[in-house]
Amino acid sequence: MRKVVTAAFVSLDGVMQAPGGPEEDPTGGFTLGGWLVPHWDDVTGQAIGETFGAPFDLLLGRKTYEIFAAHWPNVGADDPIGKVFNRVTKYVATRSAAPLAWQNSVALRGDAAQAVAELKRHNGPTLLLQGSTDLIQTLLAHDLIDEFRLLTFPIVLGPGKRLFGRGAIPAGLKLVDSKVSTTGVVISRYVRSGEVTTGSFALAEPTEAELARRERMKQEG
C-alpha cells in the first residue's frame, strides 16, 4: 500500500502560499510571495534533498502542476531536482479536460479523494504531495495523508492559503524527526498515530472509599 506524504513550507501561523517567489501565487491579494528565500541555508537544502532522494511519484493539484510544468522542464540538465521531477510520474487532480503536456503526467479526473484512495491501494513509491493547497484540504477531510514533512519558517504571514483548513478532521500525530536550520527553520516529520486522545487536569472527585478514609482520619486525629 502506498503512502501519501505532504511536504510543505509553512509560516509559523500555517500559511503555505507562494513560498518561492512574488508571482508564484498572488490569488486573494497575497503580496508576500517569496517569503522562504531569505531563510534558505544548507540545512534546509539538505532536508529537501533527503525528501527528493527517496523513490516517489508526485501528487499535484492542477494549479501547482501548471506552476511546476512552466518551470522544471526548462531548468538545466544538471539541476538535481529538475532531473527527478521531469522523470517521475506526475498524478494531477484536475477537473479540466485540457491535456497535460509535461512528460509522464497522468490526469486524475472526477472525485480526487476516490482517485487518491485507489492509488494508495496499489504498490508503488510514495505519493509526494507538493503545494496544492486545495487538494490537501480534500485529502485531509478524507484522512488520506499518512505523513507530514514540514519546514516551519520563523515568520507570521497573516492571510493566505493554509496547510490545515476548516475541513481537516481531528487526528493524532507522532513526531519522528526534527532539527533546526541556522536561520531558525524548524524541520519536522510527523506520522499518523491514531485518534486524538484527551485528558483533564481537573481534580478528580473522591471515591466513597476515599471519603470514608478521610472521615476516619478526622475522628482519629
Reduce the secondary structure of 68-135 to three states and give it as a string. HHHHHHHCCCCCHHHHHHHHCCEEEECCCCCCCCCCCEEEECCCHHHHHHHHHCCCCCEEEEECCHHH
Domain of 49, in residue numbers: 4-220
Separation between Cα atoms, residue 25 and residue 34, nearest integer Å? 10
Cα 23 to chain centroid, rounded: 22
pLDDT at residue 1 tops 70: yes
* One-letter identity of residue 13: D
pTM of the model: 0.86
Residue 166, pLDDT score: 81
For residues 10-19, average pLDDT: 95
Predicted confidence band at 10 (pLDDT cuts at 50, 70, 90)? very high
Q: What counts of helices (H) and strands (E) characterise the chain?
A: 6, 8
**DSSP sequence for 168-213:** PPP--EEEEEEEE-TTS-EEEEEEE-SS------SPPPPPHHHHHH
Q: How many domains does the chain have?
A: 1
Helix H or strand E segment including 59: strand 56-61
Mean per-residue pLDDT, 17-22: 91
DSSP state, 151? Answer: E
- In this prediction, residue 221 carries a pLDDT of 67
Give the CATH number of the domain where residue 125 resides: 3.40.430.10
Residue 2 pLDDT grade (very low, low, confident, very high; cuts 50, 70, 90)? very high
pLDDT in tens, 90-130: 999 998 888 899 999 999 998 999 999 999 999 999 999 99
The mean of the pLDDT values for the chain is 92
How confident is the model over 171-215, as pLDDT tens digits?
Answer: 999 999 999 999 999 999 999 998 999 988 887 788 888 888 888
